[in-house]
Amino acid sequence: MALSLAINARFQHRRITGVDRYAHEISSRLELPKRFIKSARPLGQVSGHVWEQFILPALLQKDERLWSPANSGAWSVSNQIVTIHDASLFDHPEWFRPAFGAWTRLSWKILAQRVKAILTVSEFSKQRLKHHLGIPDEKIHVIYNGVGKPFAPKSAKEIKVVREKYGIKKPYFLFVGTLEPRKNLKSLLSAWEQLSLKTHELFLAGAEGRVFSSTSHAKCVTTPPDQDLSALYSGATAFIFPSFYEGFGLPVLEAMSCGTPVITSNTTALAETYQDSAILINPEMPEEIARAMQCIIADGTLSNSLRERGLKKASELTWDKSAQKTQAMLESAA
């Protein structure tokens, strides 16, 4: 009998971030009987959890399997697969509000014991979750994230339009992310100040607020729409992502899919996923970031090699492939 899938669609009410992008991209590609279950209106964090624990289970039909793709799920539903993207709440509790961290760690421990399986997005995340949740190897499965439209190399005209839109007048290095501690903007800004480049700009997309000194020659905007973002990636001298901790590092793959050389950290899932296609740096050492940026500027052969390797990596990791593997896993979980 064909699997009938219910999808916990709380993510459809939220602004799209990495976790929610995964949920949208994979769920839209699943080729099996499925229906999305969500509340009638957006809910807050507490009311959303109440809905998930008490309303969602009552909306399931007999023999439906529930997939919860965005780091939370209904405790009472055992015929369920949950995707947990990383173990940062355990490894670095100091990065999160205490109440949120305590609730989520408890929730994951309960779910880990009750659901049929857990999905995650890297071997690094699998090992950290196994360690903290005390579950056997066969209960947690790794399927890498992917990339797809509109992230592809853009034309010179498209790049020119977006540069004019955001006031970018020089060649530029790009960062995409938020002001979370894990994203390590402090080291990036320190590296940028060390370089004191007059020929290039530093452009941050997604980091709100005044984070630069008046001498940094940098620009900072809220997260652009995807069409603009793909052109920003395509036009950058390099994409810099010196994060301390990632379960996958989706912006790196997006940049590579746009043909952009990448500088990223030699830690966590970033090293696992991108060691063959990026310059890896120690995120604790701004001088390494600065040196990598100088190498990109000075060595056109290196830049071209990174572009080619990045495009190859992006062709290997697509949302279509991720969805096919996810569907097979959802159907086969005992």
pLDDT in tens, 99-156: 999 999 999 999 999 999 999 999 999 999 999 999 999 999 999 999 999 999 999 9
State pLDDT tens for residues 290-303. 999 999 999 999 99
Question: Would you say the CATH fold of 156-316 matches that of 5-146+319-332?
Answer: yes
pLDDT value at residue 206? 82
Range with the lowest mean pLDDT among 8-17, 130-139, 146-155, 318-327? Answer: 8-17
Candidates 65, 4, 67, 57; CA nearest to 34 is: 4
Long-range Cβ pairs for the range 96-105 (8 Å, 24+): 100/45, 103/49, 104/71, 104/72, 105/132
Contact 56, 43 (CB under 8 A): no
Residue 264, judged by CB atoms within 10 A of its CB (0-12, 13-18, 19+), counts as: buried
pLDDT over 60 (residue 71): yes
pLDDT over 60 (residue 44): yes
pLDDT over 60 (residue 258): yes
Range with the lowest mean pLDDT among 69-73, 208-212, 281-285, 291-295? Answer: 208-212
Task: For the chain, give percent helix, strand, coil, nearest 5.
Answer: 50, 15, 35
Confidence (pTM): 0.94
Q: What is the mean pLDDT of residues 166-175?
A: 95
The helix or strand, by DSSP H or E, that contains position 324, with its residue range, turns out to be helix 319-332
pLDDT value at residue 207? 58
Candidates 99, 50, 47; CA nearest to 74 is: 50
pLDDT over 90 (residue 257): yes
Identify the CATH assignment for 156-316 out of 3.50.30.30, 3.40.50.1220, 3.40.50.2000, 1.10.287.110: 3.40.50.2000
Q: Categorize the per-residue pLDDT at 1 as very low, low, confident or very high, splitting at 50, 70 and 90.
A: low
Q: What is the mean pLDDT of residues 189-202?
A: 94
Contact 296, 302 (CB under 8 A): yes
pLDDT value at residue 334? 63
pLDDT value at residue 220? 78
pLDDT over 60 (residue 215): no
pLDDT value at residue 2? 74
Contact 36, 17 (CB under 8 A): no
pLDDT over 50 (residue 211): no
Domain coordinates in residue numbering, the chain: 5-146+319-332, 156-316
Average pLDDT, the chain: 94
Candidates 84, 74, 78; CA nearest to 22 is: 84
Radius of gyration of the chain (CA): 21
Q: Which two tokens stand for residue 232?
A: 């920003």
Q: Which two tokens stand for residue 220?
A: 């900072």
Percent of the chain with pLDDT strictly greater than 90: 87
pLDDT over 60 (residue 75): yes
Q: Which fold has domain 5-146+319-332?
A: Rossmann fold (3.40.50)
